[in-house]
Structures are given as structure tokens and as C-alpha cells.
Amino acid sequence: MTKPNTQSAAFTGFVDLAAEELGGRALEVSDDFFAPKENLLKPGRGVFIADKYTDRGKWMDGWESRRKRTPGHDWCIIKLGLPGVIQGVDIDTNHFLGNHPPYASIDACNLDDGEDIGDAEWTEVLPRSPLAPGSQNLFGVGSSESWTHLRLNIYPDGGVARFRAYGDVTPRLPADADERIDLVALKNGGRAVACSDMFFSPMTNLIMPGRAKNMGGGWESRRRRGPGHDWVILEMARTGSVEEIEVDTNHFKGNYPDRCSIDGCYAPGEAIDNLKWADFDWVPILDEQKLQAHHRHYFDDELRDEGPFTHIRLNIFPDGGVSRLRVQGRFEQ
């Protein structure tokens, strides 16, 4: 059974740029004697198993350094899965109570592919801030620059269960502007900007790389008991024309939508609240199509209009879960 979406409402609409499934990695650490750095970027908030121990002490689902007996503090360097502008962070000390760090700060740097982390010039983006034990510690980040790496500093030592870096992707698009591309993919600068419901899993999952590993890796709404249908609005990185659409219900079997349709609009700079009005001028791209469970559906000849568009709206009838949405086309030059 899927669990309700637990991402903080403060960062709804942003993506965790450090997520393991996006390619985020914990590269280097000052010390991870009790629990390895790799746990920081895993899904969920971590679990606690009361009687589980290792030969080094209590097993903990997070990153935990030993007790520091010398001056200084511990740190972990994280490579973001996708470069981007950080809007906020979650330093989650879940299950770390008598062993959480009292304070943390964050530095950032921007490295090109192939540059050595040892050559990094670090900029502080979160000053030293207090952490509460056993809690999601949420902080806004004021920097407007794009970053590729972060350094989480903890003072002086201790354990952090999970680390999230929420923000907007800075896309690295192909050199050939005429190349066919997924217009709404997260890695290409697409964004999930609004939806009717995402009780079980967030809308941003629709445009994540690859295929979902399980049902929780898609977008799923709660069971609709009244009239209407669910929907999600996606914004392209740039204006584009649509050539093929894929709707993937991978892993959704007893809870996939019965049908779907897709609309588009050309609305550069339009406020998202206006796009949600029922009388906003959406253009039908794909009429209602019957869907199957756990299946990849491809549509090309069925498309009614190729655009150009700035936004795509996926409608599902009446509710349910969709794993991925791919909108293949070309950006306008």
C-alpha cells in the first residue's frame, strides 16, 4: 500500500535536486563511523529498529559520525543529481535524539564536468543554524545562483537521517536546438506546477528520469468520491511543439485511471492560478483515451494539435495513478 506524500508543504512544487534517484551522491565525508553517508539521500525519513546493532554500535538509518574529541566539526559533500537553484533544505534528524547535531550550515559550489572537488570555491548559502532532535528542520535558502555540489556541515558531530535540497533545475540542453526532446522532463527544465490532488505521491514524479521502481515513484491522487476528475499542469522549459506522447501506468494495477486526455496552452508568463480557471483557453491535444494497468501507452497519430505550447495539462478520469508522462517534441527556436 502506498503511503501519503510526506514532502513539506513549504517546498511543494520544487524538486529534491539531491535525490538519489536523480543521481545525487554523497561523495566525501569527514567521518561516518556509526552510519554511512549514503543513507542521507535515500527515500523516506529513515526507520528505527530498537534491537539492531553493528560491531560499531547502534545501527542507525542515516549518517552518523563518532563523538568528536578534537577541535573542528564534521561535514559531508553532496553532488546534486541535477544542477539548480536551491530554494530550501530539509535537514532531517528523525530518530536522532541524544545524538543529533545542535547546529548545521551549508556551503555550495558550481563545478563543470570533470573538475575536481578539491578545486571548488565554496560559498555559504545557509549560515550556522540550530537543529531540533527527531525533526524535519526546514530552512529557506536566499541564493539565486545555480549550484552543482553542497557541503553539509554539522557542529560538532552527530547524526542526520536524511538531507533534501529543494529547488529548480538549471537545464543543460542539447547543443542542437532542433533535436527532438522530452519537452516536460525535469532534467530538461520542465516543472510540475499545479495539480488537483497528490495525496499519495507528488506530481513531480511524473517527469522524473527513467521508469519508476515502484508505485510510490509515480503521481497518485486519492480515491475521488464526488464528481469531476483529477489533473496536473506541467510547464515546459521553453515553448515547444508536440510530436508524441507517452502515458506510463507502470506499477499501477488496481488504481490506474480509467481514461486520460491531454490539453495544451500557449501562455508565457501567465500566473498559474489563472491556468487553473475552468474557462481558461486550453487546446485539446489528445482526446479521451482508454488506459490499461501497468502499461506504456504511446500516442502520435491521435494528436489533434501540435502547438506551439508552453504548458501541458494531463487529465485523468476519474482518479488514480500515473507513473510517467513523456511529451516528445522540439523547442521553438
pLDDT digits (tens, 9 = 90+) for 223-254: 999 999 999 999 998 999 999 999 999 999 99
Q: What is the DSSP string of 37-75?
A: GGGGGSSSS----TT-EETTEE--SSEEPPPP-SSS-EE
Q: For residues 278 and 311, which has the higher predicted lDDT (pLDDT)?
A: 311
Distance CA 206, CA 278 (A): 23
- The CATH class for the domain spanning 9-169 reads mainly beta
- Pairing type for strands 324-331 and 146-155 reads unpaired
Asked if residue 3 has pLDDT above 80, the reply is no
In terms of Cβ atoms closer than 10 Å to its own Cβ (0-12, 13-18, 19+), residue 277 is exposed
Question: Is the model's pLDDT at 9 over the cut of 80?
Answer: no
**Dist CA 163 CA 139 (whole Å):** 12
Does pLDDT of 12 surpass 90? Answer: no
Rounded mean pLDDT, 258-286: 92
| Amino acid at site 2 | T
HEC profile for 144-177? Answer: CCEEEEEEEEEECCCEECEEEEEEEECCCCCCCC
Q: Do 9-169 and 181-331 show the same overall fold?
A: yes
C-alpha grid cell, residue 112: 563543470
**Model confidence at 116: pLDDT above 90:** yes
- Quick one: pLDDT at residue 214? 96
Domains of the chain: which residue ranges? 9-169, 181-331
For residue 106, what are the β-bridge partners?
126, 152
**CATH class assigned to 181-331:** mainly beta
- Per residue in 201-227, pLDDT (tens digit) is 999 999 999 999 999 999 999 999 999
